[in-house]
Amino acid sequence: MEFPTQQIIEIISWSFLVYGILAYAGYSFSAFFSFFEIREYKRINNQRDEMALLQSTSLPPISILAPAYNEEANIVENVRSLLTVNYPSCEIVIINDGSKDGTLTKLIDSFHLIKDDSLYFDILPSQQVRQIYRSTFKSFKNLTVVDKMNGGKADALNAGINVSKHDIICCIDVDCVLESDALLKLIKPFLNNEKKVIASGGIIRIANSCVIEDGKITEVRLPEKFIVRAQTIEYFRAFLMGRMAWSRVDGLLLISGAFGMFDKETVIEAGGYNSKTVGEDMELLVRMRRLMRAKKEEYSVGFIPDPLCWTEVPPNWTILRRQRNRWTRGTMETLWTHRSMLFNPKYGVLGILSTPYWLFFEWLAPIVEFTGILFFIALLIMGQINWFFVLGFSMVTYGFAVLYSVTALFFEEYSFQQYKKTNYVYKLVLTAFLEPIFFHPFILWASLQGNIDLIRGKKSWGTMSRTGLGKVGKEVMAQ
């Protein structure tokens, strides 16, 4: 029997070319769009009078919520860093999510905590709260520590929301490094009087290898390890080639769990974080949007392109694999829960553009890619391989991947240029050439595993330990 190799290769080649060119055109278009958005943002915000505002007592108070699970090693330092945040009126709520180590003891000792029996309401469901603590020291008077039974990140945040006092909440990862005016910039979108703002978020930057002193970034350095540098490029692609554009058309589906601000009332009304998914940050925003849509209330979601929050990304393959596995499951769970939005014109941009985008580019892409590889192996076994085809096809795929990355690098260079040293540019370009060969296949494998795990019904958190590193929202997947 004659196997129609050539026809099949032709079809695949064409599909890829069309897909690649469409994707590249789409990304470039949204990158240009993002670029103009960023430029406009910078023009509006170059007056620096925000800083003068810091004394103002009329800014709305904020509750910062930070869950901690087995963070004994750094918790004291992290909380100290949070306490220095520059904002006139905020409380910091640390939620100890049933840590098995000495997280709580360390907090109690270092911040002179005593039991506090103030009242609060369990308006959102969460695991049982054992005790609430406050400090006897005046300098830590804004600190509240909630000790609860273990229930995962979403559950911990819900408990934090119940205990928090203020109407605006800011959910962050406890080990994030915030820019000093981060809260001020994030609150600004809430203070317009045109539309109700339900949430706002910003760009996440990679802190690995940076010099951090007293909880502040003092020198931005390019990560030394290849695995982290490759993620740097992923982040550029995600944030610079599109995030702003999504924000402009009000199609953002995700505010990173590492740093985001929310209107508490809307969060509660939507039901709070869903502790049954591993993609709780994305799922919450989608649910809040649906709620607003159901209430027929005008609203918006803010997005700030300034680097506001720095976080460590996985520095080794094991943690990275776990993170990506989880992100894939989170995306799938969210899309499945809200599948009625897909292609539904009732939801406007969200139904027509955002959800299909996540379905095809985020979830489906690795699967398609994997099928391609399987097909290739099949041909190989059957001895049907024409090596010139393989070579031609590989080159075109590889060329596309590199092109996409260097375009993102170019936008970074043009807009923020965070990495100041000249030889960083060369290192990043080199990384862009290596990434499709040495990094991407691994990511592909991790997200496939995520799919398999989900189908096999693995709902658990992949060792529930928030490794302390698995946090940066799912931005990276939105490349």
**Closer by beta carbon to another protein, 119 or else 381:** 119
**Nearer to another protein by C-beta: 128 or 386?**
386
Alpha carbon separation from 231 to 77, 173, 240 (Å, rounded):
26, 19, 14
We find the least distance from the C-beta atom of residue 119 to another protein, in angstroms, to be: 5
Q: Nearest approach, Cβ of 242 to another protein (angstroms)?
A: 17
Task: Please report how close the Cβ of residue 217 comes to another protein at its closest, in angstroms.
Answer: 10
**Closest CB to another protein among 389 and 461?**
389
User: Whole-angstrom Cα distance, residue 412 to residue 390?
Assistant: 33
For residue 56, the minimal CB distance to another protein (Å) is: 4
In the complex with another protein, the residue whose CB is nearer, 342 or 406, is 406
What is d(CA 307, CA 299) in angstroms, rounded to the nearest whole number? 24
Q: Which long-range contacts (CB under 8 A, 24 or more apart) does 182-185 make?
A: 182/85, 182/259, 182/308, 182/309, 183/62, 183/64, 183/85, 183/86, 183/87, 183/90, 183/261, 184/50, 184/53, 184/54, 184/59, 184/86, 184/87, 185/50, 185/304, 185/306, 185/308
- Residue 147 φ then ψ, to 5°: -105, 120
Give residues in contact with another protein (CB under 8 A): 6, 9-10, 13-14, 17, 43-44, 46-47, 49, 52-53, 55-56, 58-59, 119, 121, 123, 188, 190-193, 213-214, 218, 265, 269, 388-389, 392-393, 395-396, 398-400, 402-403, 406-407, 409-410, 413-414, 417, 422, 425, 429
Give the position of tokens 């985008």. Answer: 357
CA separation (Å) from 75 to 71, 114, 218, 364? 5, 18, 21, 38
Minimum distance of another protein from residue 43's CB (angstroms): 4
Nearer to another protein, 216 or 293 (CB): 216
C-beta of 178: minimal distance to another protein in Å? 16
Q: How far apart are CB 323 and another protein at their closest, in Å?
A: 29
Q: Tell me whether residue 63 or residue 96 sits nearer to another protein (CB atom).
A: 63
Helix (H) or strand (E) holding 308: strand 299-311
**Which CB sits closer to another protein, 235 or 419?**
419
Q: Is the CB of 197 or the CB of 469 nearer to another protein?
A: 197
What the block records as the tokens of 152 is 């995962």
Minimum CB–partner distance for residue 296 and another protein (Å): 15
Q: Are 448 and 327 in contact (CB under 8 A)?
A: no
127 burial level (CB within 10 Å; 0-12, 13-18, 19+): middle
Name the residue with tokens 């869903």.
274
Maximum CA extent, the chain: 84
